[in-house]
Amino acid sequence: MLYQPSSDLDADESMRRLAWYAQRKPVFTGGNQVTLLRGGKAFFPALSDCIDHASRSVWLALYIVSPLGQSGSVLQALKRAARRGIDVHLVVDGFGSREAPDALWQELERAGVKMAIYRPMHKFWGLLDTSQWRRMHMKLCVVDDTHAFVGGINLIDDHYDLTHGWSDEPRLDYAVQVQGPVITPVLHTIKAMWTRAHFGRDWRDDLSHLMQDRHKLKRLKHWVQQARMRLNPREQGKLAQAAALHAPMRSAFVLRDNLRQRRTIEQSALQAIHQARHRIDIVTPYFYPRRAIRLALRAAAARGVRVRLLLQGKLDFQIAGLAARVLYGELQQYGVRIFEYQPAFLHAKVLCVDDEWATVGSSNLDPLSLVLNLEANLIIKDRAFVRTLSGALSEDFAQSHEVLKADENASRWITRLRRNFVRQLAKAYLRLAGAAGRY
């Protein structure tokens, strides 16, 4: 039987939740409105305002929560919402938010916020338990089932880092604010994370049992067809009329989890890279992708596509910098241009392809994001949005330093040594974490 977190959750509602999740490929819907938010300076006020205007519910799933600085305004908005009777649910990752004081959670609960911690860690050495290495790395919020926020921005001040403290320049990061039918899977995902953290189980656990029941499977197929809707007036009525006033953005919400959608984010990115004809811009702090992605980037550059990577110039973790840099020579040899962001820490996770495909979210291009962590991205197919994002990225690249191609003969043996070290370290890490297969 499907787990039901509330007594009034009927079978059809369970089917609706599972319909988009049962598919490994992205499900695109039209009629969405997506607004780009650059950094906490834009993100926190937009999120706080949305929460302050909530009339029914607020659901959040976050990796890091810190009460210091800018992010405190969002926490205050959550408490105000809960006190006026809004149904507020917050699930946070136990490792990412480990430094948040217990007093913060107690304050939120006293205000009426329903709290859940995903895989809590009471001691840092809890990481010796390798099952703890799979973390909830998502940054999601849905307000009143009508507004959603998806991206890479945690609830932490742009100028503050848990490891390095305060800095003068703000961290580079992106998120999007969303309206439209693509919100549905975002909401279902947050609810799944909250119920799993709170009860230890969620509705997705019973997907395999559902597949064995012919009657339930038939109903699920019906909802799968509904999930593939393309928004026409007959199907969506008022929603279609409202969407007609705006650009009909086609969007898909994609996950990386340890169940049905293990490689959805990666495969979506890989397909976009294969189909690129003019340009590919990738922004990510942690870059050590599978060989398939590296080969795709090399092939794209070789056929004349402008391929640019924007990576960290100011490193937060030295091993992450080493992992990325051992790949520089391989990619540059085929024409991939590599830049390192200089002003501050880089945390954005963005992929922009040609003139009408982009994704913004929480997933890096490294083993943790592609194999272990729970991640969430939004894919947007819309020329106006991609134009806006490209403009913002142009500014980011302009503030970066291009890494010139090294002398291959002088550094070949050192590069091989470093690559072998990183490769063996990644394999050992994944093996200890219980990840099977090649990377």
In tens, the pLDDT along 135-190 reads 999 999 999 999 999 999 999 999 999 999 999 999 999 999 999 999 999 999 99
Query: What end-to-end distance do the CA atoms of the chain give, in Å?
Result: 36
Q: What is the pLDDT of residues 378-415, one digit of tens each?
A: 999 999 999 999 999 999 999 999 999 865 555 677 77
Distance CA 264, CA 22 (A): 12
Q: What does residue 33 show for φ and ψ, rounded to 5 degrees?
A: -120, 125
Give the mean pLDDT of 256-284: 92
For residues 374 and 135, is the Cβ–Cβ distance under 8 A? yes
Question: How many residues are there in the chain?
Answer: 439
For residues 310 and 281, is the Cβ–Cβ distance under 8 A? yes
Q: What is the pLDDT of residue 210?
A: 53
| Catalytic (active-site) positions | 137, 139, 144, 347, 349, 354
Residue 5 has pLDDT above 70, yes or no: no
Residue 299 has pLDDT above 50, yes or no: yes
Q: What is the pLDDT of residues 36-64, one digit of tens each?
A: 999 999 999 999 999 999 999 999 999 99
204-213, 320-329, 332-341: which has the minimum mean pLDDT? 204-213
Residue 431 has pLDDT above 70, yes or no: yes
Distance CA 122, CA 128 (A): 12
Q: What is the pLDDT of residue 134?
A: 87
Residue 113 has pLDDT above 90, yes or no: yes
Reported for 429-437, long-range contacts at CB under 8 A and 24+ positions apart, including other chains, are 429/133, 429/367, 430/367, 430/371, 430/372, 432/130, 432/133, 433/130, 433/133, 433/134, 433/371, 433/372, 434/130, 434/131, 435/367, 435/371, 435/372
Give the mean pLDDT of 278-305: 97
Element (H, E) at 140: strand 140-143
Q: What is the mean pLDDT of the chain?
A: 85
Question: What is the percentage of the chain residues whose pLDDT exceeds 70?
Answer: 79
Distance CA 376, CA 256 (A): 6
For residue 352, the cross-strand partners are: 281, 358
- What does the DSSP 8-state code read for residue 403? P
For residues 294 and 355, is the Cβ–Cβ distance under 8 A? no
How many C-beta neighbours within 10 Å does residue 432 have? 10
Q: What is the pLDDT of residue 238?
A: 43
How many C-beta neighbours within 10 Å does residue 238 have? 8
Distance CA 30, CA 42 (A): 25
Residue 234 has pLDDT above 90, yes or no: no
Residue 240 has pLDDT above 70, yes or no: no
What is the band of 416 on the pLDDT scale with cuts at 50, 70, 90?
confident
For residues 89 and 144, is the Cβ–Cβ distance under 8 A? no
Distance CA 290, CA 282 (A): 15
* 56/218: higher pLDDT: 56
What is the band of 132 on the pLDDT scale with cuts at 50, 70, 90?
confident
Q: 3-class SS at 239?
A: helix
**206 is written with which tokens?**
């019973």
Q: What is the pLDDT of residues 326-373, one digit of tens each?
A: 999 999 999 999 999 999 999 999 999 999 999 999 999 999 999 999
What is the band of 207 on the pLDDT scale with cuts at 50, 70, 90?
low
* 322/78: higher pLDDT: 78
Q: What is the pLDDT of residue 198?
A: 85
- What does the DSSP 8-state code read for residue 166? E
